[in-house]
Amino acid sequence: MADIFISYAREDLVRVIPIAKELEKVGWSVFWDKKTPPGKQWRIYLKERLDESCCVLVVWSPDSIKSHWVHAEADEALNRNILIPLLLDEVTPPFGLGHIQAADLSNWQQNRDDPEFRQLIAAITDIIPLPQKSTPKPALSTVVPAPGQKPVATALQEMPASQQSAASMLNIGDEYGGGKIAWLDASGQHGLIAAKADLPGRDITWEAAKKACRELVNNGYSDWYLPTKEELNKLYYAKSAVGGFSDYTYWSSTENGAGGAWIQFFASGNQYYNNKSVGWCVRAVRAF
């Protein structure tokens, strides 16, 4: 599965490769080489890669605006609200696809600090958070407390002995705080806990999902809630470590207008928005 699918005309390959390489340096996985593996049908293969992607970068040029396949891929991305257009040349995107602001790389000199390229990175980040680099956990003596807070080491010393070791050596997937850890901040002392299982049923409406999470009392904890769009994405990336997720669609608490909210398909990681009256899966979370 690739984070980013680049849709382009074959004639533009030489100019697309540097863009793909720069995006990979940022940390995203990128699908751009459309050579079909032996034994695969190219239409099915490309459709699978497109469906798996979380963001589709459509590259417009004099050749791509005439490409039926680029049009089709752009339409699919637009329907899923994951389309980011990019101009290689001063061209007008096809009818129905020109209303979305495009990053203009027509004069790009393969400089990552170029303002237009930085805007492209920002647009992708709105859909896919920047990959988090693995950061070694600091020794307790090096952690600087916030104003008015006790040093972490002191706080740990005041905990019962049975809790000290758990709080100082947390990892994604550990059982902790009534569920399993799905995300940790750089300090390793704070993060997101996911309930160990989904709420029963795959047809829970958005309002019912929020209510059920608020009212959940699980393993002695009652501060559960429906994750935001960003937190739900953290659950997706930790789904193997946390366990118990289905390859189905989950609600987030992030709204998209009065009647809609964001969802995420856990088979591919794609995020969309949907009507709040539709029923999906729910996994409650709590912060610590």
Q: Where are the domains of the chain?
A: 4-127, 171-287
The confidence band for 229, taking pLDDT boundaries of 50, 70 and 90, is very high
Q: Could you tell me what percent of the chain has a pLDDT over 70?
A: 83
Percent of the chain having pLDDT more than 90? 47
* Number of neighbours of residue 19 by Cβ within 10 angstroms: 25
Among the listed ranges 36-40, 52-56, 167-171, 173-177, which one has the minimum average pLDDT value?
A: 36-40
**How many CB atoms within 10 Å of residue 117?**
21
Could you say which DSSP state residue 12 is in?
G
Q: Is a pLDDT exceeding 50 seen at residue 155?
A: no
- Look up the pTM and report it: 0.47
Please say whether the structural domain 171-287 has been given the CATH code 3.10.100. yes
Which of 38-42, 95-99, 114-118 is most confident?
114-118
Predicted confidence (pLDDT) per residue in 57-74, tens digit? 999 999 999 999 899 999
Of the candidates 236, 144, 158, 235, the one whose C-alpha atom is nearest the C-alpha of residue 187 is 144
**What is the residue-averaged pLDDT of the chain?**
83
What is the homologous superfamily of the domain 4-127 according to CATH? Toll/interleukin-1 receptor homology (TIR) domain (3.40.50.10140)
Question: pLDDT (tens digit, 9 = 90+) per residue, 160-211?
Answer: 444 444 445 788 999 999 999 999 887 777 899 999 999 999 899 999 999 9
* pLDDT of amino acid 233: 92
Q: Give the model confidence (pLDDT) of 81-101 as tens digits.
A: 899 999 999 898 888 777 778
Predicted local confidence at residue 16, as pLDDT: 92
State mean pLDDT over 10-22. 91
Q: What is the pLDDT of residue 60?
A: 95
DSSP string, 14-52: HHHHHHHHHHHHHT--EE---PPPTT--HHHHHHHHHHH
Give the residue-averaged pLDDT of 26-52.
Answer: 78
Quick check: 264 and 270 in contact, CB under 8 A? yes
Residues 151-173: b if buried by 16+ CB within 10 A, e if exposed: ebeebbeeeeeeeeeebbebebe
Give the N- to C-terminal CA distance of the chain in Å, as an integer: 31
pLDDT of residue 36: 59
